[in-house]
Structure 1
Amino acid sequence: MRAVVQHVYGGPDVLDLAEVDAPAPAADEVLIRVRAVAVSAGDALIMRGEPRAVRLAFGLRHPKQPTIGRDVAGVVEAVGPTVTKFGVGDQVYAESDQGGYAELVAVAEEFVARRPANVDAIHAAAVPVSGTTALQGWRLADVGPGRHVLVNGASGGVGGFAVQLAKAAGAEVTGVCRGAKSEHVRAIGADHVIDHTREDFTDTTGRYDAIFDLVADRPLGRVRRALTPRGTLVLSSGRGGAVFGPFGRIIRASLMNPFVSQRLRPLAARRSGDDLAELTRLIEAGEVNPVVDRTYPLAQAAHAIADFESGAVRGKLVLTV
């Protein structure tokens, strides 16, 4: 099969399209013929091996898994003997850990869900990582009717789902983004939009019941100042130092949490087929809509990641296979 591979860490130029062996599904796995795979922040971080701490998991000198990509949507090609929920020909989507920038990928049945009936594979591929991260983040903050919440990084993949999910839960939502993306953030449901190049949301005191911080561009103390006395800060950003990335900020928040009235909650999103099924329900009900900025053929994966890293993206970028 064709797959995008890398044998060293680096920029988009380390990615190449190559012929590799196709995977065979294990007993509990679903083999998916990929029709679309989304580009995510995690793909870029693993491609570069940054922060350096990620290399402890993904390979110290070179990537142990040569193909990146987690968000896949496609058609079931085959199933392992213990799989019961899916059959050949089913339209599905999933979060893979085996490299989704490929024509075929095997995923454990528990992390697969049926594709929403009202979206195509391209839009379905935009959902798994970003949608489940947003869903799990708002659960930590117990977002619901009457709550005023802020999403820092509202125009991106996770941010877009965070805005929509908070609105679906009945919250009042403020989105923070670049001014050029303000109309996009309003269009997906934000009640208020802050242009971070003109206004600092942390200048406000005690306004928000919950803040979902996807950018980590403000000191932790200043972000806390914008929360109500018993508000919740959800931390979910890959930004930070070159060696430890966001872990320093996460450690500071965790150590501080027992001594303050606010709740400081680092988020380590996990794969979940059940959460994908919940997102399917919300998408089919029209409460959440995946947003795709642009598509590229699989052979242009390097171009897609370069565009992603430019920051000029509204929603998700998707590779078609």
Structure 2
Amino acid sequence: MRAVVYTNYGSASELKLKNIEKPQPKADEVCIKVFAAEVTKADCELRSFKFPVKWFWVPLRLGLGLFKPKRQVLGGYFAGEIESMGDKVTRFKVGDQVFGSTQLKMGAYGEYICLPSDYTIVKKPHNIDFIQSAAVPLGGLNALHFMRKAKIKTGDTVLINGAGGSIGTFAVQIAKSMGADVTAVDSCIKEAMLRNIGADHFIDYNDKDFTKDKERYDVILDMVAQSSYTSCIGVLKPCGRYLLGNPRISDMFRSVFSSWFGDKLVIFAFAGEREQELVELKDMIEAGTIMPALDNIYGMEQIVEAHQRVESEQRLGIVVLSLDKQQAGIN
């Protein structure tokens, strides 16, 4: 089978399209023919081993490869079709169209992947294609997790810092579905896209620092690792909630004291990416409440450009890798 492989840490040019052995499912696994996979910022960070949150570096290097990657096929979020399965699998059948997460196994940049059947894998929404479905799990699961942690009520003012990424675009839509008034913060090139998916207000971070404005918010979801903790806390209303999407270890310690001794709640709990939550996202998509905001679709031969697009921060939504040109309509 074909797969995008990297054998050394480095730039996007390390990614190569190669033929590798097709995996075979174990007794409790499903073998999925992958039609599409999201190209994520995490993929780029794992490939280069450059992380905005530095404390991830040591445990990941030890777990994923000290000098070169142990898992050489990236890709954590996918959509595809069940091709075969082990004899202990009962929750799927051959031909089921599914989407989900590979968790730390990665591997969705390959035409086939074998995963335990109890992973976060569910039938894809019937009203969107494989390309769109692959763009849902990362952003959708994390955004749903954070917005529920925030306990948003109708009329709450919600600011999303870094709103133009995978998580941010879903957070805008989910917050709106909960009745919030949403302010999106990102680069000016993303304003039209973010307003189109529901943002009520937009702030270009190159033009204005929202932490120095007089506006106050009930909830801030902060996806920017370099943000000032103190400044963000300062623009919360009394009893406001500050959600850290890319927490520094120092911010984690500070959050305990802020929550115990102040009137602001700081949350950095990571999403569990549970099956039930993905089912809920599927239902929301089928009801038309949310939709993935797509930027570009790339073929496997264009993987270097896909990674460069994600790293450039110029993308207007989610970047998807198509492993099947017919499914994606790529010539």
Considering the TM-score relative to the shorter chain, is it more than 0.5?
yes
State the shift of 1:293 in Å.
0.7
Partner of 2:303: 301
Partner of 1:16: 16
State the shift of 1:28 in Å.
2.7
Matches within 5 A, 1:20-39: 20-39=20-39
Matches within 5 A, 1:151-300: 151-204=160-213, 207-237=216-246, 246-300=248-302
Partner of 2:69: 63
Partner of 1:105: 113
Structure 1 window deviating more from structure 2 (265-274 vs 310-319): it is: 265-274
- Distance verdict in 2 for CA 1:84–1:205, change over 3 Å: farther
Partner of 2:316: 314
The answer on whether the counterparts of 1:205 and 1:227 sit within 8 Å (CA) in structure 2 is no
Distance 1:208 1:133 in 2: 21
Task: State the Cα deviation string for residues 22-56 of structure 1 (Å, max 9, x = none).
Answer: 22223332211000011111111111122333313
Partner of 1:242: none
State the shift of 1:255 in Å.
4.9
The answer on whether the counterparts of 1:4 and 1:17 sit within 8 Å (CA) in structure 2 is yes
Partner SS state of residue 172, structure 2: helix
The answer on whether the counterparts of 2:258 and 2:265 sit within 8 Å (CA) in structure 1 is no
Partner SS state of residue 61, structure 1: coil
Partner SS state of residue 319, structure 2: strand
Distance 1:11 1:247 in 2: 27
Partner SS state of residue 84, structure 1: coil
Aligned residue pairs, count: 314
- Distance verdict in 2 for CA 1:115–1:103, change over 3 Å: same
State the shift of 1:284 in Å.
0.3
Partner SS state of residue 119, structure 1: coil
Task: State the Cα deviation string for residues 67-103 of structure 1 (Å, max 9, x = none).
Answer: 1111100111112223222111111101113311000
The answer on whether the counterparts of 2:39 and 2:319 sit within 8 Å (CA) in structure 1 is yes
TM-score (norm 2): 0.90
* Runs of at least 5 residues in structure 2 that lack an aligned partner in the other structure: 52-56, 324-331
Partner of 2:98: 92
The answer on whether the counterparts of 1:94 and 1:107 sit within 8 Å (CA) in structure 2 is no
Distance 1:265 1:281 in 2: 26
Distance 1:11 1:75 in 2: 31
Distance 1:224 1:66 in 2: 40
Identity of aligned residues (%): 37
State the shift of 1:143 in Å.
1.7
State the shift of 1:251 in Å.
3.6
Matches within 5 A, 1:46-57: 46-51=46-51, 52-53=57-58, 54-57=60-63
Distance 2:22 2:273 in 1: 23
- What's the RMSD between the two structures over aligned residues? 1.6
Partner SS state of residue 275, structure 1: helix
Amino acid at match of 1:279: L
Distance 2:147 2:108 in 1: 27
The answer on whether the counterparts of 1:212 and 1:236 sit within 8 Å (CA) in structure 2 is yes
Partner SS state of residue 81, structure 2: strand
The answer on whether the counterparts of 2:160 and 2:182 sit within 8 Å (CA) in structure 1 is yes
Distance 2:266 2:223 in 1: 14
Structure 1 window deviating more from structure 2 (57-66 vs 307-316): it is: 57-66
Amino acid at match of 2:141: T
Distance 1:208 1:84 in 2: 47
Amino acid at match of 1:8: N
The answer on whether the counterparts of 2:23 and 2:113 sit within 8 Å (CA) in structure 1 is yes
State the shift of 1:206 in Å.
6.8
